[in-house]
């Protein structure tokens, strides 16, 4: 797809430093904007909701609501690339010290069942390569995507 857009239009960006969803493309054919989403189902779901929905609202002249983000404590250890911003699937648990997030058993982007068996995404920013129990991160519940 990228080669076709480069040949017939303009590629504005190709690939983002996010996971899942790194191989996303934004370009233009004439005056028509294009957003090319990744092929794996979780990557497609995440990039559609984080990038495409806000773009569609803007193109329609409407304002979408900002995503609901709740500060939540991580109840897990997780190694990641410091170069990437990761959106990991988590479930919420109530503990003695409040609301915590536990990591879904697999973060593979082809595992569509993870969208049903978890509560939402935990936004892990770039710049760090280790998430430890007790770290606070923003949680985006699946229901936040319904409200846009």
The pLDDT value recorded for residue 96 is 81
Please compute, for residue 138, the number of CA atoms within 13 A of its CA located in the half-sphere on the CB side. Answer: 10
Q: How many CB atoms lie within 10 A of CB 21?
A: 25
Please list the residue range(s) of the chain that carry CATH number 2.40.340.10.
70-146
Which residue matches tokens 């010290």? 97
What pLDDT is stored for residue 63 in this prediction? 80
Q: Distance between the two ends of the chain, CA-based, in angstroms?
A: 28
pTM beyond cutoff 0.85:
yes
117 secondary structure, DSSP code: S
Whether 91 and 104 have beta carbons less than 8 Å apart is answered as yes
Three-state SS for 48? Answer: helix
- Can you give the pLDDT at residue 148? 53
Q: Which CATH class is domain 70-146?
A: mainly beta
- pLDDT at res. 58: 87
For the chain, how many helices (H) and strands (E)?
A: 5, 11
Report helix, strand or coil for 85: strand
The stretches of the chain forming alpha helices (DSSP H) are 2-8, 41-47, 53-59, 113-116, 143-146
Tell the residue number behind the tokens 């304002």, with chain if given.
63
Task: Tell me the mean pLDDT per 10 residues along the chain, length 148.
Answer: 91 96 94 93 95 89 87 97 98 90 96 96 97 97 82
């Amino acid at each position: 797809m990228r080669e076709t857009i480069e040949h017939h239009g303009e590629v504005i960006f190709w690939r983002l430093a996010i996971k899942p969803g790194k191989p996303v493309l934004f370009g233009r054919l004439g005056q028509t904007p294009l957003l090319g989403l990744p092929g794996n189902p979780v990557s497609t779901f995440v990039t559609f909701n984080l990038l495409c929905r806000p773009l569609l609202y803007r193109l329609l002249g409407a304002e979408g609501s900002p995503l609901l983000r709740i500060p939540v404590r991580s109840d897990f250890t997780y190694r990641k690339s410091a170069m990437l911003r990761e959106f990991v699937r988590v479930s919420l648990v109530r503990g003695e010290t409040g609301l915590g997030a536990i990591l879904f058993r697999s973060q593979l982007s082809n595992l569509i069942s993870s969208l049903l068996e978890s509560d939402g995404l935990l936004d892990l920013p770039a710049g760090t390569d280790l998430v430890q129990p007790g770290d606070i991160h923003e949680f985006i519940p699946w229901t936040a995507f319904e409200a846009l």
